Structure 1
């Protein structure tokens, strides 16, 4: 289980699952797997979903619950718990959202693909931190904290996009019942330290499942249930729940989602025949994120800096963070499926664009992170003073 809680191994598993899905989709095994993914499970007339939809609407809600718990912690007790701490990564995150949208629109303007503009805005936290862990030995802690903060803010925007842009025909009654479920869940979670811990824990699971069911029935994307429950839960029980669920999310939920999302046949066409959706995403993820995060981050990290003081992060480190931000995967894949749900061709090319763009960003990030890590290790060996931003100075004090 400790391996599945590390930064490195889950990233490898996620990439392998996506690669296997892509290979299966383009071999003779595709038809059999496609039939299996469309087998329906559940209670007829109530919740009769295909395996594919159980993964994307059910299991992925658990992933969003874990993300929401981390959001709650960072916003209340972590690196985003004050306006001062949040401002700099927020500006960098804004650049990492606005510039990819601009790049995508330049490719897709005037076509049916333009509705996919939210797809290249997301950063996969687990994957980005995994690459940082593999290639970043010797980097200052400030870079990891900066990346974590802007990726979390990225996730907040992604969650808002899912909730606002891809919700149609809302059943207000069901949504109201879901809201009641969230409130009850939050109240119950604050009673877990009493002697009746086990019955309350069982009740929490029941309320969580019912809340998910109400959200699903309301027409809002079911993963939003995980977000709402994670934000509503009392912090200490939420952190314990996150710790217990993390290996399952890293080892089962995300690989299953990556596998199912990557079951896309590569079209037998020349590059010139690929849709703007593909090119917009494939370019916007690695290039748009790199430019947006590094430039906006450079400006942000100099706002409010005392005259003559060293910048919190060198620009070269911001370039590495920008490249890491271009690794979209999980949330970008989900946004691609939602944005083009009514057009199978555009959806498949958007998913291929996410995979291609994320792989390019992964290679770029690996190189840039390795170069920066080698730079800091050389400085350490030569006895030069290591980079000291606010995080390191506070630790020394």
Structure 2
């Protein structure tokens, strides 16, 4: 379990799962793999979903629950608790959202792939922190704090995009039921450590399932239920839940989603015939993120007059920007949602996300290694002088 709580191993597991999915989809095993993904599970005539949708709408809601618990902690007791501390990463995150959108639209705007503009706005926390853990020995804590806050804020943007852009034909009756169930969940989490513990546990289980089901049936994407539950839960039991769920999310939920999302047949077409969705994601993730985060972060430091000892150098900002380009999980989900009605474009956008994230990963590994070496050398020189 300790291995699944580390920063390095889950990132490696995600990468392996994505590679396995891509390989499966392009071998004689493809038909069997797609048959499993498209198989329906549930109670016939009552509630059924394909395996792919159970992973995307069901298991991924657990991931978003864990992300929301972390967000709740950061907003109340962590890196984002103070508005002053949150301003710099918030401005950098804004640049890391707007510039990739602009790059994507410059490539895909005016085509049938234009609706995929949210795809390159996300940062995968697990991957980014994994790369930082592997290559960042010696980096000052300020760089880690900046990246963590940046990734969390990026997740907020992704959640907002999912909630606003990919919601249609809202059933307000079901949405009201979700709100009521969410309120019951919040109350139960606050009496969990009282004599009514048994009833509270049952209430938590039932109300969380009802919240998820009602959100799913309302037309709002089901992962939003996970976000709402994570933010509504009392912090102490929420952190215990995070501790219990983290190995399962890292070891099962995210790898399954990565494998499922990466089940994409590589098109046998010349590069010039690839969809703009592919090129948009491929370029916007590594280039748009790096430029957007580094430039916006540099401008923000000048505006806020961050003193020299605490300020991040442009090299550190570039390393953080490269890490921000590892979109992966949330970018893959946004790709699935943006082109749900166009499987051909969706598959090429998914390939673009995988390729763009891979480029960002390699670039980030080089830049983080360089900055870590620089800071270790500077520390050693200071110590010797």
Structure-1-length-normalised TM-score: 0.95
More divergent stretch after superposition (225-234 vs 297-306):
297-306
Cα distance in 2 for partners of 1:383, 1:310 equals: 14
Cα distance in 2 for partners of 1:18, 1:239 equals: 29
Match of 2:304 in 1: 304
| Equivalent residues in 2 for 1:93-112, closer than 5 Å | 93-112=93-112
Match of 2:28 in 1: 28
Cα distance in 2 for partners of 1:237, 1:300 equals: 37
Give 3-state SS (helix, strand or coil) of 2:303's partner: coil
Match of 2:362 in 1: 363
Match of 1:235 in 2: 235
- Residue-pair matches, total: 385
Residue 334 in 1 paired to residue 355 in 2?
A: no
CA contact (8 A) 1:175 1:215 kept: yes
Q: 1:29 to 1:383 in 2, by over 3 A?
A: same
Deviation at 1:168, TM superposition (A): 0.6
Cα distance in 1 for partners of 2:92, 2:308 equals: 20
CA contact (8 A) 1:185 1:233 kept: yes
* RMSD between aligned residues: 1.3
| Equivalent residues in 2 for 1:157-196, closer than 5 Å | 157-196=157-196
Give 3-state SS (helix, strand or coil) of 2:302's partner: coil
Residue 321 in 1 paired to residue 314 in 2?
A: no
Give 3-state SS (helix, strand or coil) of 1:41's partner: strand
Cα distance in 1 for partners of 2:142, 2:4 equals: 24
Match of 1:222 in 2: 222
Match of 1:275 in 2: 275
Cα distance in 1 for partners of 2:222, 2:332 equals: 16
CA contact (8 A) 1:123 1:325 kept: yes
Cα distance in 1 for partners of 2:95, 2:121 equals: 10
Deviation at 1:299, TM superposition (A): 1.1
Structure 1: runs of 5+ lacking an equivalent = 387-397
Give 3-state SS (helix, strand or coil) of 1:81's partner: coil
Match of 2:148 in 1: 148
CA contact (8 A) 2:68 2:230 kept: yes
Residue 63 in 1 paired to residue 101 in 2?
A: no
Give 3-state SS (helix, strand or coil) of 1:48's partner: strand
Residue 343 in 1 paired to residue 339 in 2?
A: no
Deviation at 1:290, TM superposition (A): 0.2
Deviation at 1:199, TM superposition (A): 3.2
CA contact (8 A) 1:38 1:50 kept: yes
Cα distance in 2 for partners of 1:309, 1:337 equals: 43
Cα distance in 1 for partners of 2:382, 2:300 equals: 30
Match of 2:76 in 1: 76
Match of 1:203 in 2: 203
Deviation at 1:119, TM superposition (A): 0.3
Cα distance in 2 for partners of 1:87, 1:45 equals: 51
CA contact (8 A) 2:64 2:227 kept: yes
Give 3-state SS (helix, strand or coil) of 1:258's partner: helix
Match of 1:247 in 2: 247
Deviation at 1:312, TM superposition (A): 1.8
Deviation at 1:311, TM superposition (A): 5.0
Give 3-state SS (helix, strand or coil) of 1:49's partner: strand
Match of 2:376 in 1: 377
Match of 1:291 in 2: 291
Structure-2-length-normalised TM-score: 0.98
Cα distance in 1 for partners of 2:254, 2:203 equals: 26
Cα distance in 1 for partners of 2:28, 2:253 equals: 25
Cα distance in 2 for partners of 1:247, 1:320 equals: 28
